[in-house]
Amino acid sequence: MGESALEKKLLLKKESAWTKFSEQERKMAFTMGDNYKVFLDAVKTEREAVKEIIKRAKAKGFEDIAKSKELSYGDKVYFVFKEKAVALIVIGKEGLETGLNVTGAHIDSPRLDLKPTPLYEDSSLALFKTRPYGGVKYYQWANVPLALHGVIVKKDGTKIDFVIGENEKDPVFVIGDLLPHLSRKQDAERKAKDTLKGEELNVIVGGIPIDDKDAKQKVKLAVMNILNTSHGLIEEDLASAEIEVVPATKAKDVGFDRSMIGSYGQDDRSCAFSQLNAIMGVQKPKRTCLALFVDKEEIGSTGNTGAQSFILENIVREIISRSKNKDYSAVKIALQNSKALSADVTAGVNPTFKDAHDEKNAIYIGHGIAIDPLVKTGASAEYLGEIRKLWNDKKVPWQIGELGKIDLGGGGTVAMFFSKYGLDIIDAGIPLISMHSPFEISSKADIFSAYKAYLVFLSS
């Protein structure tokens, strides 16, 4: 039995986006999913995301705004900031003072960072001390093959890229766990969240002592010696470094039907990928389009590359400085008249833990891009109405709901920092299962829906 005519007319239906897609759209969702896996494997840090985004944008005709003279209708440029944040811009027909269409995603993900002096020796092993970045359930990071990604500025001031653990023949690193045979005390005394404690996130990195009879810490010295031979490093170099410890695993299809993707870093690189594809598809828009990729969301959007900085203002100022009409007083007016989507992930229902959600307002993976209207900013009925009409008219599968039950916690997004300009903004992003884990799960239907949603929004 299907639904009654009156039900169809009056009631909001929650259904899979897959059933709404045409055969052609299904194919596109799968093709985009393959491309997304390539993106995820290439991008495990915010710096790598910036590089990959610029590489892809350049191939679609975007040029460095720093090198462009005067901008005109239809021009495509990118703005890069400190190698950790980037914006893609397509100049619209209307003047900036009428506002921009902005989407904002973040390209940092939860991870472990090496401490300033990470290397030590214990029980004939060499290890790295780490510090969690963002919301990390510590125990999830034990027994997972780990890679090291980052940059190091050496004693002489030269900067090197440092990546180990991704190539087939590379070694990986690991945080050791306690075997079940000996964990009776741990089981009895620790709550789940303390199964592994912050100071126990120690990564094993070596085990052969150096052949140097006078050396005290022979295994530590041996590891340092390897790093000196391969990269010319001394221990002090690690003090001026940003080394991120991330899962060494690759993105994979999930399910017999291959409808999902499992990978590290999908918060928020899933929305970053969808918004990247969207802005690359924008042609001669009415309003100037801006896709912003920022850093530091996972630790509160702080820092000079996060959404709390003046990056949005600075980008608009940069556009004005290359426009015919150099009216810098227009920056705040332009932002106030802008419309924005905060492209950030949300929690999809995990059937095993349904209890964490209000079922009547839950979000499901595979049901399309998810609007969460109330996250910290409280979107207006007018703006919600506008976005809803736009997506309905263009047949974008979307859903609306909330991250989880009121009393269980919650999260913030870049929306709360951009809304201070007075622009309209709502959170609209891709739902994930196992968010913040080393292997988060998304649906290809949602990656594709988000791409379509951002594209019609930017082009509107």
Query: Which residue, 92 or 411, has its beta carbon nearer to Zn ion?
Result: 411
Query: Which residue, 267 or 402, has its beta carbon nearer to Zn ion?
Result: 267
Type of residue at 380? S
User: Cα dihedral sign for 365, 369, 371, 376?
Assistant: positive
Residue 112 to residue 201: CA distance in whole angstroms? 8
Query: Which residue, 237 or 267, has its beta carbon nearer to Zn ion?
Result: 267
Contact partners, residue 157, CB within 8 Å, separation at least 6: none
DSSP 31-55: HHHHHHHHHHHH-SSHHHHHHHHHH
CB of 109 to Zn ion, least distance (A): 7
Residues 55-84 as x/- pattern, contact with Zn ion by CB under 5 A: ------------------------------
Query: Which residue, 57 or 430, has its beta carbon nearer to Zn ion?
Result: 430
CB of 347 to Zn ion, least distance (A): 10
CB of 247 to Zn ion, least distance (A): 15
CB of 136 to Zn ion, least distance (A): 10
Which region among 43-51, 121-129, 217-225, 260-268 touches Zn ion (by CB under 5 A)? 260-268
Encoding tokens for residue 247? 């899962």
425 burial (CB, 10 Å; 0-12 / 13-18 / 19+) is buried
173: which DSSP letter? B
349: which DSSP letter? P
CB of 165 to Zn ion, least distance (A): 23
The residue number with the shortest CB distance to Zn ion is 267
Binding to Zn ion (CB under 5 A): which residues in 261-290?
267
Q: What is the dihedral of CA 148, 154, 159, 160, to 10 degrees?
A: -40
Query: Which residue, 92 or 132, has its beta carbon nearer to Zn ion?
Result: 132
CB of 340 to Zn ion, least distance (A): 19
Contact 416, 360 (CB under 8 A): no
Query: Which residue, 267 or 446, has its beta carbon nearer to Zn ion?
Result: 267
Query: Which residue, 71 or 349, has its beta carbon nearer to Zn ion?
Result: 349
41 burial (CB, 10 Å; 0-12 / 13-18 / 19+) is middle
CB of 439 to Zn ion, least distance (A): 15
Pairing of strands 63-64, 252-254: unpaired
Is 52 among the residues that bind Zn ion (CB under 5 A)?
A: no
Residues that bind Zn ion (CB under 5 A): 267
